Chains A and B, each alone.
Chain A
Amino acid sequence: MVLVGAVRDYLNRMLTDIPGMKVLILDAQTVGIISVAMSQSELLQKEVFLVEKVDAQSKDAMGHLKAVTFLRPTAENIQHLKRHLTNPKFGEYHLFFSNILKKAYIQILADSDEHDLVQQVQEFFADYFAIDPFHFTLNLSGNHLCMLPTVADSHNSQQACDRMLDGIAAVFLSLKKRPVIRYQRSSEIAQRLAQDSAKLMYEQESGLFDFRRTEVAPLLLVIDRRDDPVTPLLNQWTYQAMVHELLGIQDNRVDLTRLPKVPKDLQEVVLSSHQDAFFKSNMFENFGDLGANIKKLVDEFQQKAQSNQNIQSLEDMVKFVENYPEYRKQHGNVSKHVTMMTELSRIVDERQLMAISQIEQELACTAGQAAAFEAVWTQLNNEKTSDIDRLRIVMLYALRYERESPQTVEQLITHLRSWPSKYKPGLVHTLLRQAGFDKRTGDLYGNRDLFNKARNMARGLKGVENVYTQHQPLLAQTIESIMRGRLRDIDYPFVGNHFQQGRPQDVVVFIVGGTTYEEARTVHLLNATQTGTRVILGGSVVQNSSSFLNDLEEVQRFQ
């Protein structure tokens, strides 16, 4: 429970050290940060009776409450706080900031604290959304900026870069580590981010980052989403990834309001690995196993329901009343997962995802241009294929065979134009420009050197367990080479003079442009094998195919 644990630890210290009734004042980002780590009822247990946005304009003063603010140190928040302090509503103010607070801001705050209300000013470095124990995101707005060159929109791109830098710094501060930093050489923004982090950690705030040295320094690797454009384009078949791909997860919450036939209490459900035991044990299971597990869950629940039904003696009644809250909770849980499962299988049937996913996996994993072209062509001609699926398989084909047979790629794109779609077919070209063969560093398809080719062939001979989940993201390969100390210095250079010898114990991989839940699963499985290396994955957002395509559209608008 590394990241979630760190955030919860911060919250505990923040809220339990201050006795009495409290009001928690948050901003738009910290609301999310807290909500993924702690539930409302847990907050209530810590005597938090009110949660307010910092920009809320309520007038009634409540002098008996103590205000605990947890904000990002931005200029707007400081202005809001200034307004609070000059015109106070609460009896005391305890200021907590989620990142390094500039000296000028302290000055402004001290200047506006006319009534001597500020009790403490602290920096608690929880500046990231810890959605899973080893997976964090930053929910960066304007994620497409990661794909644009800096000059296109320098102001916003600087802001995005600063937000990512803050997130990375906060992760390392809460882990109490100072890493050596490597980046992917071919990506401009990865290089910039890596150099900025090095500057922050080794020059500007070197005192703050001066923790006890470990034998082998931890590693921060900054890579670019564009190095592996295939993973966000694939259909997913494991529970968490699938829900995100088909329904969309935002801060561990799934919005079901758009769907037909959903009961009122299930319009927004929480899918959090530390609050929901069933989800925790099944989040990385594939769709088939998941069905079986849900069946088991329903059976168990049925048994319990039956035992609750035959109430005969007074004792039974007492037991029933005692167990009723638990029963209600379980009921909610079961119906949540069943609803989700029904919804997922409905979408899978409707969009014929089984067939499409098979083509996708073959495009991603096995070579064979002629057969692949045939399959893509027939799938394009199928009336029932949705527009996003058409675009995706053409994109996957283009990424794979852009060099082997460019004329078939063009053929497919022209064919794509003949179908009505809300996406422009030009996106395929945008994708190739952004993440084509000569832009990538890593060996995405395992065909760049002899060793990888041989390994691919060996895997082909062994056969695959499950056709739908045979794809391994590029990240798996990268992490494997880190663990063996074989990541090439030429492709992934170090920043500054901090080199690394041997295998790092802690690795944080930050993907500029967003992670996917498939990669989160890979990281989880690696961590579970107990090799002594702990990997934490982070990114600017969590991508699914539609968000990735939206980003590409934004990029296309700029060009």
Chain B
Amino acid sequence: MAFSAGSLPPSSRRDRTSEFHAIADRLRKSTPSSSSSSSANGSTVNGSSLATTSNGHHHHEQPSRLHGPEFVGSTQSEFNKRASRIGLSIHQTSQKLSKLTKLAKRTSMFDDPAVEIQDLTSVIKQDITALNAAISELQVLCDSRNEAANRTKHSSEHSTTIVDDLKSRLMSTTKDFKDVLTMRTENLKVHENRRQIFSATASKDQTNPFARQHPLAAASSTSTNPLSGSHAPWANGATSNSQLFSSRRRSTLEGSEPKAAQGQGQMQQQMVPVQDSYMQNRAEALQNVESTIVELSNIFSQLATMVAQQGEMAIRIDENMDDTLANVEGAQGQLLKYLNSISSNRWLIIKIFFVLVAFLLVFVVFVA
């Protein structure tokens, strides 16, 4: 045989023992160190190191080797812990948000959970600001770690992705929040309109029906309250009811006004301030909501700039680079192919030319 075994270099192999030991050690560390199992492990390790005294230094070497990965692991886990905590609270916030949405969707005019909504809104607002702060902190941590040396490309990529993901989640939550608030404002506006329609009509023809009805209303204070309710037309009854209600509230609020002053003329006059104060209440709530939205939009733009800063630029450059690389490689391939074809063709031409010349020579020498 032309190729003897002696001339061969030793065949390749790969030793993965150290990898195996590293994993085994890591697994041992990660399992909860119940005293019995760890002591058992210790004893076996001791036993084996006693048994193989010749490569004892091998065992000695292991702990020092392990320090590196463990250290990296701890910062990694710190990062992970934080990220998971932020994720969890985003989730909680979105749950609250869904509750808020449910509340805000209630369109009934009378049973308006304004206080609850107010509370929830403020809580969510606080949550979101806190989350925002936490994420920017996380970003800083991530950056500092990426800058630090001996970070693998993958892990830094991974942490950046996590941060970006968290950001986009927070962003979408905030967006939802904003949507809910806008919806709420819309709702309020609709209510207001409806109320205005009704109250306007009410105030227009209030003079007469109320004038007529007043004795009944006055009577209601004495005994025939249910009768009056059934007697009156619906809209009027409602307004009268609310009027009664608000008037009672007002009376309790402004205790100075005498109860006896429930005269016909005064009643009519009273209508306006009652409506007024209610409107004011509403306007206040609206303003509140609006201011929240403004604040939110601030947070929003902050987040958006943060995300936008990083994302797009890098992606575009990356893509362009890839494209360029592909183009260059393709060009090289084409050139090589072309070279091949050219070189073979050249030979052919030379050969043909040579044959032609030979024939010509033969012709000239022998025939002519």
Q: Which of B6-20 contact A (CB under 8 A)?
A: 8-17, 19-20
- Do A1 and B2 have beta carbons less than 8 Å apart? no
- Nearest residue, chain A, Cβ from B333: A497
- Per-residue interface assignment for chain B, residues 328 to 352, with 1 indicating a CB less than 8 Å from any chain A CB and 0 otherwise: 0100110011001000000000000
Q: A110-B20, A122-B17 are in contact. Are A497 and B332 (CB under 8 A)?
A: yes
Contacts of B44 in A (CB 8 A): 115-116
Contacts of B336 in A (CB 8 A): 499
Contacts of A125 in B (CB 8 A): 11-13
- Do A10 and B13 have beta carbons less than 8 Å apart? yes
Contacts of A133 in B (CB 8 A): 1
Task: Give the shortest distance, in Å, between A100 (CB) and chain B (any CB).
Answer: 8
- Nearest residue, chain A, Cβ from B329: A497
- Do A122 and B48 have beta carbons less than 8 Å apart? no
Contacts of B27 in A (CB 8 A): 107, 110-111
Contacts of B45 in A (CB 8 A): 116
Contacts of B23 in A (CB 8 A): 106-107, 110
- Nearest residue, chain B, Cβ from A107: B23
- Do B19 and A121 have beta carbons less than 8 Å apart? yes
Contacts of B337 in A (CB 8 A): 489
Q: A110-B23, A113-B24, A116-B45 are in contact. Are A5 and B5 (CB under 8 A)?
A: yes
B4: CB under 8 A from chain A? yes
B363: CB under 8 A from chain A? no
- Nearest residue, chain A, Cβ from B11: A174
Q: A10-B11, A174-B12 are in contact. Are A1 and B333 (CB under 8 A)?
A: no
CA distance A116 to B14 in the complex (A): 21
Of A1, A124, A176, which contacts B1 at CB under 8 A?
A1
Number of interface residues of B (CB under 8 A): 30
- Do A109 and B20 have beta carbons less than 8 Å apart? yes
Q: Which of A436-480 contact B (CB under 8 A)?
A: none
Q: A106-B16, A110-B27, A497-B333 are in contact. Are A116 and B5 (CB under 8 A)?
A: no
Of B5, B9, B15, which contacts A120 at CB under 8 A?
B15
Contacts of A15 in B (CB 8 A): none
Task: Give the shortest distance, in Å, between B264 (CB) and chain A (any CB).
Answer: 90
- Do A173 and B12 have beta carbons less than 8 Å apart? yes
A259: CB under 8 A from chain B? no
- Do A122 and B329 have beta carbons less than 8 Å apart? no
- Per-residue interface assignment for chain A, residues 91 to 126, with 1 indicating a CB less than 8 Å from any chain B CB and 0 otherwise: 000000000110000110111010110111111110
Please choose the segment from A329-337, A394-402, A526-534 that sits at the chain B interface, where 4 or more of its residues have CB less than 8 A away. A526-534
Query: Which of A8, A9, A208 gathers most chain B CB within 10 Å?
Result: A9
Of B8, B19, B21, which contacts A6 at CB under 8 A?
B8
- Do B12 and A101 have beta carbons less than 8 Å apart? no
Of B9, B20, B340, which contacts A118 at CB under 8 A?
B20
Of A115, A116, A499, which contacts B333 at CB under 8 A?
A499
Contacts of A175 in B (CB 8 A): 11
Of A6, A121, A497, A499, which contacts B20 at CB under 8 A?
A121
Contacts of A13 in B (CB 8 A): 10, 13
- Do A101 and B3 have beta carbons less than 8 Å apart? no
A211: CB under 8 A from chain B? yes
- Do A106 and B20 have beta carbons less than 8 Å apart? yes
Known: A120-B15, A174-B12, A176-B9. 19 other contacts (CB 8 A): A1-B5, A5-B8, A8-B5, A9-B8, A9-B10, A13-B10, A106-B20, A106-B23, A107-B23, A110-B21, A110-B27, A122-B17, A123-B14, A123-B15, A125-B13, A173-B11, A211-B12, A489-B340, A499-B336
The 3 closest A-B pairs by CB, nearest first: A110-B24, A110-B23, A5-B5
Q: List 25 A-B contacts (CB under 8 A).
A: A1-B3, A2-B3, A5-B5, A5-B8, A9-B10, A13-B10, A13-B13, A107-B23, A110-B23, A111-B24, A113-B20, A113-B24, A119-B17, A121-B17, A123-B15, A124-B13, A125-B12, A125-B13, A173-B11, A176-B9, A489-B340, A499-B336, A527-B2, A528-B2, A534-B3
